[in-house]
Amino acid sequence: MAFFGTFFKDVGIDLGTANSLIYLRGRGVLVNEPTVVAFNNKTNKILAVGEEAKKMFGRTPAHISVVRPLKNGVISDFEMAQEVIRQFLRQISEKSFFSYRRGILSIPDNLTEVERKSVEDAVLNAGCSKVYLVESPVAAALGANLPIHLPTASLIVDIGGGTTDIAVISMGGTVVSRTLKVAGDKFNEDIVNFVRDEFKLAIGEPTAEFAKVAAGSAIPHSEKLEVSLRGRDLATGLPREVLIKDTQVRAAINKSVRSMIETIKEVIELTPPELVGDMLKQGIYLCGGGANLRGIDALIERETSVATEVVDEPLTCVARGLGKLVDNFDGHRQLLDNPLKPMTINFLSP
């Protein structure tokens, strides 16, 4: 088996709305790139994928499209999603002759059968012989080293680019979960709208993301932050620069942050009482890129009265969990998300 393992690779794929990470068995996370592809409409060729494509966002002529093939955690452009996965797998493939034997893919909770089938097909067409699915919160909890196999509550909040997945996990399964279409991308959209309304300035998504990272926070803090934003004046149509403060960025994203906290409270309210009691001891764990927002853990702790902390390296938490599934497939097989199918009964002929 070790001989064949050198030829057939197993991978864990965290296909996110904002970023995609790929874990190769025995070697760790080898791909951590934006889920973006640049496409030339004249020649029907892919120009760039990942970081190089993201740099082109909002800066291309009419015949070049820069596409994000996932929206709110779901594939919106199947062909482009397939091409992104294929290009990323090609980056880590030392010899194209040998294929990927097994791909384990993280998915948001509550996907429909059609959405589930589309991500499976995309990975199969990109080069994996067999695809297994696992719910993103389960992979995140595994990556955060939470005791998900024990009869105790592990509450994980995965704040990604397109969705926020909130789940209570116990005994290797999800007890209560919610998927909220409010996450990093919604924060960017809020900042774009705020700058347009407050400063009469049009900015793009990359500039809004820069403002969020540089000056964004969930609660007031002692350090005063401000950042310069450049865009198009809506009145004159000419370039203009404004200074935005952390208080203004916080005001812009406040409604979305409140929505996220209300959903966390709803999940806690729906959790069985014994598991809620366990939460006080175990706490709430945050992962995903949105967990890096300053003060988000302190705000959730204040609102829920449950100790909250951000896991180590939150951006790669799901990918690390997928890595554990890839490295010990048989040991963690029960965690895989296999939709219930009608039971088949074989009757013996007399």
pLDDT tens across 136-154, in order?
Answer: 899 999 999 999 888 999 9
Q: Residues with Cβ < 8 Å from 105, sequence gap 6 or more? A: 12, 13, 15, 119, 120, 123, 131, 132, 133, 134
Among 223, 252, 281, identify where a domain stops. 252
Q: Do 115 and 197 fall within a single domain?
A: no
Q: Do 93 and 155 fall within a single domain?
A: no
pLDDT in tens, 239-250: 999 999 999 999
DSSP strand pairing (70-71 vs 74-75): antiparallel
Question: Where on the phi/psi map is residue 288: left (φ > 0), alpha (ψ -120 to 50), or beta?
Answer: left
Residues of the chain with pLDDT under 50: 1-4, 95-97, 340-350
Q: Can you give the pLDDT at residue 173?
A: 85
Number of structural domains in the chain:
3
Question: What is the average pLDDT score of the chain?
Answer: 87
Q: Domain containing 277 — which CATH number?
A: 3.30.420.40
Q: What is the DSSP letter of 217?
A: B
Residue 284 tokens read as: 């709430």
CA 273 to the chain's CA centroid: 29
Q: Do 193 and 285 fall within a single domain?
A: no
Q: Do 286 and 161 fall within a single domain?
A: yes
Q: Do 292 and 168 fall within a single domain?
A: yes
Q: Can you give the pLDDT at residue 2?
A: 46
| pTM recorded for the entire structure | 0.87
Give the sheet arrangement for strand 19-24, strand by strand. Answer: 28-34, 19-24, 9-15, 100-107, 128-135
Q: Can you give the pLDDT at residue 338?
A: 58
Q: Domain containing 244 — which CATH number?
A: 3.90.640.10
Contact 167, 174 (CB under 8 A): yes
Does residue 348 form part of some domain?
A: no
Does residue 36 form part of some domain?
A: yes
Q: Do 130 and 62 fall within a single domain?
A: yes
Q: Do 196 and 100 fall within a single domain?
A: no
Q: In sequence order, what are the beta bridge partners of 159? A: 164
Q: Do 268 and 168 fall within a single domain?
A: yes
Does residue 268 form part of some domain?
A: yes
Does residue 27 form part of some domain?
A: yes
Q: Do 267 and 292 fall within a single domain?
A: yes
Among 227, 252, 277, identify where a domain stops. 252
Dihedral of alpha carbons 69, 325, 88, 97, sign:
negative
Does residue 345 form part of some domain?
A: no
Grouping H, G, I as helix, E, B as strand and the rest as coil, residue 40 is: strand
Q: Do 284 and 211 fall within a single domain?
A: no
Q: Can you give the pLDDT at residue 144?
A: 92
Q: Do 164 and 279 fall within a single domain?
A: yes
Does residue 203 form part of some domain?
A: yes
Distance (Å, whole) CA 227 – CA 168: 38
Structural domain for 109, as ranges? 2-140+318-335
Does residue 23 form part of some domain?
A: yes
Give the sheet arrangement for strand 308-310, strand by strand. Answer: 173-180, 164-170, 154-159, 284-287, 308-310
Residue 272 tokens read as: 């069985």
Q: Do 39 and 114 fall within a single domain?
A: yes
